[in-house]
Structure 1
Amino acid sequence: MPSAVGAVAEVLAGYDAVVCFGAPVFRYHAPSRSDFLRPGVSLYAVTDDPDEAARAPFGRIVVGDPSDALARLADAISQTDRPWPVPRAIAEADTTGPAFTAEAILDAIDRGKNDDAVIALEWTSADMLRDRLTITRAKSLFYPAAGGLGWGLPAASDCDSAALSGPSSP
């Protein structure tokens, strides 16, 4: 999602409802005087952070375990024959030069990383380009919320320290 209120509202304008489980809903670092969502779009969220729920400017925010809520919702929803949405097509990066584009740089990183790579993406001007990175496992992409530079690398290092130390003994 973009980093400004109006830009997020624009992306979500075509939907009737937005549902969020366990992620901060109202973190933005680009200034905007726009509305959070367009009229007619409803917001529902489950967070384990009571302070976040209290700060929410609108929507129906429930305090609870997001994983449990998602599992319960999945059990309650009947199966459907509708196809999964088709992933967005990503345009080919401009590599004509002389300068490298943000898209070309992220494509090169994606092609060059191995399966064990952990990426700390703190390039806020490339925020909307993170879809160019192929992420196939949890805790392999870290990026700052609301433009908090300097957070991603320590977080990635801390989260993977157990993996680097090898298997634990029983």
Structure 2
Amino acid sequence: MTKNALIVVDVQQGFDQLDYWGPRNNPACEDNIRALLTKWRSEGQPVVLVRHDSVGANSPLRPGQPGNDFKPGIDGEHALLISKQVNSAFYGTPDLDAWLTASGISAVTICGITTNHCCETTARMAGNLGYDVTFVLDATHCNDKKDVDGNVISADEIARVTGANLHGEFATVRSTAEVLKD
């Protein structure tokens, strides 16, 4: 069996603070991530947990507060824990690329929060580094954003565009159900 690391990005309690982040999409995201974690752990495949340790004074993801903690059912057996302060898990500590290379892992599956920030950035970098990348779109969520003119772009539209941007160039975009069938 080919080693395929499940990279679980920033599934932290601070993202539940919608007054800070704005409305979100995909209420099934966390359940889908838990289902992927169950599959990876039962098959003995490597799990990488990624935590955003924000340096922002007002960020709900700052270390030392409950928002920095993983959501229930996310923490558990894992091969590697990455701490980062930027979007990409490849710019965290310890070095994800070095660990994947040393572990003989050439395929990664990405899920987590948020679709268009840390998950997309990690997927783009993984693709550029030559990994075989699967992006599980319905195991991510994002929040509504305003464009430069102040118009709201829905989280669903942002996720749809992220999937279109990644698929076929940086990753293969799949659903949780498709991945669980493998």
Query: TM-score, normalized by length of structure 2?
Result: 0.30
Higher fraction of strand: 2
RCO higher in structure (CA 8 A, sep ≥6) = 2
- Larger of the two Rg values belongs to structure: 1
TM-score normalised to structure 1 length? 0.31
